[in-house]
A and B are shown apart, each in its own frame.
Chain A
Amino acid sequence: MNITATLIGQSITFLVFVLFCMKYVWPALLSVMEAREKRIAEGLDAADKASKDLELAKQKAAQQLKEAKEQAALIVDQANKRANQIIEEAKEQALLEGQRIKSSAQAELDREIARAREQLRSQVATLALVGAEKVLARTIDPSAHNDMLDKLAAEL
């Protein structure tokens, strides 16, 4: 219980341990802890950023999807319109073509009729002549009766 030189001994010991701690223990431990703190902070920041990026990407994807849908709808609409148009056009053309074919057929028919008539007309004389020959059982001079025959033919 007496105050002795132990006091001085303990003071020196104390200082030695404090200096040792200050030089070899504290800075090493603290630097490691600070480095870890920094690393954790960086990790958290990165995670934050990543989640933000993800949110952004999601928004972007939704936006793009919406745009794509709109575009697709537009395209389908246009296609439908175009199809209708094409059908209309085709209808019109078909009608026109039909009419054309019809008219050309009519013309052909008319021509054919005319030709047949002409043929008939040209042959009627011969036929009449043959008929008359038969009826008359004699030969009639074609040149003598040409006028009459032509008149007949024209009447046909």
Chain B
Amino acid sequence: MASEAPTSIEYIQHHLQNLVLGKLPAGYERYDGSVLAADTWTFAHSSQEAADMGFWAFHIDSLGWSVVLGLLFSFFFYRAARRATVSTPKGFQSFVELVVDFVNNTVKDIFHHKNRLIAPMALTIFTWVFLMNLMDLVPIDWIPQAATIVSGDDHIFFKAVPTTDPNITLGMAFTVFLLMIIFSIREKGFLGFIKEYTLHPFHTDKWYVNILLIPVNFILEVVSLLAKPISLGMRLFGNMYAGEMIFILIALMFGAGLLLGAFAGVLQWAWAVFHILVITLQAFVFMVLTIVYMAMAHDVPDEQH
């Protein structure tokens, strides 16, 4: 938050802007009116600047937190794996085993092929997405305030929840999508892969009709294919973004008198409790859908055309 009391709109906008590191071109007029002499890599100081940085910019806050949380997950699970004993599991090991067992069972239920990547990927997705979602439960101003103090910059943007950034969720979804295509080609061969997108769902016994049907099939199949990663990523993003929005709106009430402030406290608590369910569920859904997509990539259709 800025030091001078911001309006509600400013407050909300401030909370929805990532910390963007990107390149501004020479001759660009900065937020304070200064004009850049040369191309400069810098942090965006306004939404307009962030937008003008184009594609080649990095959301340092989202990426940073996602890496930190990923490292946290990797470190603790690696340590648990190193220390794991066959005898009665204790403390953290039994917790880790509980999670691993849960993920393993889910994978076994859905994915019936042999692929060593799927189960570890499901575990990584579940725990990592859960941890990233968990950041939502940290009171909304704490981490941005800390960032302000650390950086000494009153205007610094900082979003603490990586999964409220579509880049993060779509990044993961597109990776899943890529793996899906790779496995699909590996399992069915390139020709089989092509056939799947040209000879389905409409198919007849006469080859000349099939040729006519290829464009229709292709459009249908490609749309349904592309819908998968986008819905996967946008579902997680949408849920977390909406949750964060509610937190921001509740936080706005803190400044509106004692009574409303107290009411906001109760609301925030209640929403946080409800959100525990949402963040776990969304992590689970992301994991399950990934496994389902992987299973679909491995499923060779019974009917051969």
Which positions in A face B, CB cutoff 8 Å?
A: 1-11, 13-15, 17-18, 20-22, 24-26, 28-30, 32-33, 35-36, 39
Known interface pairs A7-B170, A36-B87; 9 further A-B residue pairs with C-beta atoms within 8 A, sorted by A's residue number: A1-B18, A4-B57, A6-B18, A6-B59, A11-B174, A14-B172, A14-B175, A17-B70, A21-B124
Main SS class of interface, A: helix
- A35: chain B residues at CB < 8 Å are 86
A21 in contact with B77 (CB, 8 Å): yes
Q: Would you call B82 an interface residue if the criterion is a C-beta within 8 Å of the partner chain's C-beta atoms?
A: yes
Of chain A, the residue at the smallest CB distance from B52 is A2
Size of B's binding interface in residues, CB under 8 A:
54
What is the CB-to-nearest-CB distance from B290 to chain A, in angstroms, rounded to a whole number?
A: 10
Q: Enumerate chain B interface residues (CB-CB to A < 8 A).
A: 16-18, 20, 22, 50-51, 53-59, 62-63, 66-67, 70, 73-74, 77-78, 80-82, 84-87, 89, 96-97, 100-101, 104, 116-117, 119-121, 123-124, 128, 165-168, 170-172, 174-175, 178
A10 to B163: give the CA distance in the assembly, Å: 11
Given A13-B67, A18-B120, A29-B100, are A5 and B56 also a contact pair (CB < 8 Å)? yes
Which of these, A9, A18, A30, contacts B121 with CB under 8 Å? Answer: A18
**Least distance between A16 CB and chain B CB atoms (Å):** 8
Q: B54 to chain A: which residues have CB within 8 Å?
A: 4
Q: Which of A15, A21, A32 contacts B123 (CB 8 A)?
A: A21
* A3 → B minimal CB distance (Å): 6
What are 11 A-B pairs with beta-carbon distances under 8 A? A1-B16, A9-B58, A10-B62, A10-B63, A10-B66, A14-B172, A25-B74, A25-B78, A26-B123, A29-B77, A32-B81
